[in-house]
Amino acid sequence: MRGKDLKPWFHSFILRAKSKGEQPLRSPRFELPWGTFKRILLIRTDSIGDGILATSLVPELRKAAPGASITVVCQDHVAAVWQELADDILVFNASQFKASRRHRKEIKSQLRIGHFDVALNTVCSRTGLSDELAFASEAPIRVAFSGDFANLAPQREGWNNWRYTHLLPIEKPGKPEMLRHQEFLTRLGWKAPLLQPRLTLTPEEQSYAERVFAEHGLDPHRTVALFAGAQHEIKFYERYGEALGPLVQREGLRVLALGGPADALINQANLSRLPPGPHVDLTGQSSLRETAALLAHCRMAVGADTGLAHLACALGVPQAIVLGGGHFGRFLPYSPLTAVACLPLACFGCNWQCPYERVHCVKDVPPGVLEAAIEAVWSGAADEPRCFYPEALPPKDGWPPPVDPAHWLSGVLLTSVPGAL
């Protein structure tokens, strides 16, 4: 047996020894002693958007375990999401955690001295990092989903399972994330309603937005937020301005560009395609929570499938979103506030491992489809999430064939847009 073949076996052996040889309990349902918990650890090692979705768990955890203190462990740039929700926030830097033994030791020490009664890893697509933190907590009860291999190789998932005392099997891969959070609690003995993310702004943050709007002469009823940036370039789309332009011109609207410093170029590219007007670009000029306050002051939002889209839902801001196929239907659309514009193709569900030279599912969404989604959001609220897509897409050389989005979505109002190619 070669050295590299020994590594999985060796890790598994060490973890089994540390777990005292006890296999994690596997069952679709466990009845946790919620009423006995005093200290709960919620493990969220993912990015801003996923963290926003997970905020929906906190109010239900407080109902399930009244009086218990809730600590969230998360990346440093996501900590702002949990302000006003968690009792304590333990932050780490992902790069330092990987490279610095000292940083890793410090975080693990803080987890141990927390003396948590239970550690909940609610991330469906587990990572080695989230598993390591759960085990380091030394909580007597450590619960997670068995995993879907989006972020863990099957052999790694096999030995990492020993880090938990309880594992919930994945029964429906690709299930919408909000339903997955609801399922997590229900299968642990707490019947939760349909969850929604939430973010509570402080009076200071609301005042900040009011000052900025007054400074730039923005009317909240006639301002549209634009966020064209995303964590990965694969989600960049350059035709927001083209799709938004007709509504802006007809209604005399102004556009407020938001996002981090890395979003400056893509936001500018889209602002340049709008009809001339006194639009405002605040890209990179506000913190996450200040951006949330500005977003909350807007009539509606238009942009990419990114953290600000989830933030808009948490704040009650209607939005039109360009949605690609990497995790289609899992993270959006999950709210009646959302209308997505998409180009349904047979390659959907690729986990953003696009096999094509061009990411057709994002880059080639017809602007007419997005325009229809924008007009629908402007016209008023809906009772369910909405999905807009081209009525007919003829086969193209080098492209994957089109599919019916109903194959991927349920509980969503589907609308085909004629002539939008």
Distance from the Cα of residue 291 to its chain's centroid: 17
Report pLDDT digits (tens) over 156-202.
556 788 899 999 988 777 788 899 999 999 999 999 998 999 899 99
For 63-105, give the DSSP string.
HHSTT-EEEEEEEGGGHHHHTTT-SEEEEE-HHHHHH-HHHHH
Domain boundaries, the chain: 15-186, 207-417
d(CA 421, CA 418): 8
- The C-alpha R_g of the chain, in whole angstroms, comes to 22
CA distance 372 to 368: 6
End-to-end CA distance of the chain: 56
Homologous superfamily of 207-417 in CATH? Glycogen Phosphorylase B; (3.40.50.2000)
Residues of the chain with pLDDT under 50: 1-16, 19, 21
**Domains 15-186 and 207-417 fall in the same CATH topology:** yes
Condensed to tens digits (0 to 9), the pLDDT of residues 289-342 reads 999 999 999 999 999 999 999 999 999 999 999 999 998 988 888 899 999 999
User: Other CB atoms closer than 10 Å to residue 8's CB: what's the count?
Assistant: 14
15-186: what fold? Rossmann fold (3.40.50)
Please say whether the dihedral angle defined by the alpha carbons of residues 100, 101, 107 and 108, taken in this order, is positive or negative. positive
Using a cut of 0.95, tell me whether the model's pTM lies above it.
Answer: no
